[in-house]
Amino acid sequence: MNVSMTHTAQPQTGAPRTVAVIGGGPAGLMAAQLLSDAGIAVQLFDAMPSVGRKFLLAGKGGLNLTHAEGAEAFATRFEARQSVIAPMLAQFGADQVRAWAESLGVQTFVGSSGRVFPVDMKAAPLLRAWLHRLRHPAGEGAAAAVPVQFLMRHRWLGLEEGALVFATPAGRQTLKPSATVLALGGGSWSRLGSDGAWVPWLAAAGVPVAPLRPSNCGFDVGASRAAGSDVAGWTPHFASRFAGQPFKSVAIRFVNRDGRVFARKGEFVATATGVEGSLIYAASNLLRDEIDATGRATFEIDLLPDLPPSRVLAGVAHPRGSRSLSSHLKSRLGLDGIKMALLHELLPKEALAQPERLAAAIKALPVTLIAARPLDEAISTAGGVPFEALDANLMLSALPGVFCAGEMLDWEAPTGGYLITASLSTGRRAAQGVLSWLEQSANVNT
């Protein structure tokens, strides 16, 4: 198929205005909601049999909708993209997300960490209520709204002669809408529909796309020094016994090549090949970028962050008599299980026999990472369509009438409710951009 990526969205005067939203995640659904509420006919396309699949997966262990911290601190979580994301959050941030959920009949609460959850912790009831509102807007307080038409198993294949091209159960179909919102997600969890297949189609249209990279991801460890030798990754003994087990009440410290410091207490999990979990995810962008630049990233883990170095040294150096080192450290410092195993895994035998070296390692044990786990395993995606390729309303400069929203944009944020909030916020901004575009186009044609 010879695909031309020239998109023209110039509605004729008096013609019905139909907007195509491609992608049924939070960004696409929010764009559809705002457009529907404004009386715009919306056709929402998704390649999967149903919408919101990654949204449902995110809520499997408790749907973290947003975060209750102050707006200024919230915006800093987007780091390099703070300046462009912050104005959108000012319009639709944490408070607005909670109010929106309440409008759907879902009450929320703030957890001890500041994270915001539905009272029942589930994603499915919220998604059901949302879809009901989109399909049946009458009586929902939006008298002018029109129902959203959902077209599932419609995979977008790009543009041909100004028309959207879809592969559907009925064969190849095309559509020329008044405007288009692309909310296609990143490249993680492809089995749920977010596969990054859109990248070459936009690139062919002259849209710059930053390479998709894993974010909030796990990592593979580098060389181990167990038994005095270098072994790639965990040893079979450590992997077989401790994969899946958590490092609880630890702290990690990482300094990148530019001197930027990450230091935080929390927990993470050992995997068969390395590490993952909340504390690792929080530092994942720094660790990933360091590996990309230098081939490795080494952080230090404090196995006993609540004890000062002097107390640890005193415990290690205390005479242990006939007790084994493991029994001694468990008795004096409460150090056992996976923490003790990590010391054996990473330290040469002679260091275990030297109290000062062992105590120093307990407080700052180097762990070297050599690769991020594959993109498809990551919670979210970095890279995508840069904001420099868009106007303030998230319309592509290279494709007038085409807007982008959600995770396909080039931003990243940690877990904690920031990802969903920004997806909702950018979906809303893209829809506002569509309304402005339609109004301007109508004025030109009159």
Domain identity same for 256 and 148: no
pLDDT for 225 equals 57
| Distance, CA of 122 to CA of 102 (rounded, Å) | 14
Single residue among 339, 372, 405 that ends a domain in this structure: 372
DSSP 348-406: -HHHHT-HHHHHHHHHSEEEEEEEEPPGGGSSEEEEEB-GGGB-TTSBBSSSTTEEE-G
**What is the SS3 assignment for 318?**
coil
Same domain, 188 and 257: no
Q: Where residue 231 falls among pLDDT bands split at 50, 70, 90? A: low
**Which domain-ending residue is among 315, 341, 372?**
372
Q: For the domain that residue 36 is a member of, what is the CATH number?
A: 3.50.50.60
Domains of the chain: total: 2
- Domain stop point among 372, 404, 436: 372
pLDDT: which is higher, 232 or 426: 426
Is the pLDDT reported for residue 180 higher than 80?
A: yes
Identify the pLDDT of residue 13.
42
Round to whole Å and give the CA distance between 74 and 259: 24
The reply to whether 357 and 402 lie within a common domain is no
**What does the pLDDT read at residue 356?**
96
Tokens of 220: 């593979």
Mean pLDDT, range 285-291, rounded to an integer: 97
Mean pLDDT (the chain) is 92
- Name the band, by pLDDT with cuts 50, 70 and 90, for residue 17: confident
pLDDT digits over 336-362, tens only? 999 999 999 999 999 999 999 999 999
> How many residues does this entry show for the chain?
446
If asked whether residues 205 and 232 sit together in one domain, one would say: no
**For the segment 359-416, what is each residue's pLDDT rounded down to a tens digit?**
999 999 999 999 999 999 999 999 999 999 999 999 999 999 999 999 999 999 999 9
% of the chain exceeding 90 in pLDDT: 84
Domain that holds residue 246: 219-372
pLDDT tens track for 28-44: 999 999 999 999 999 99
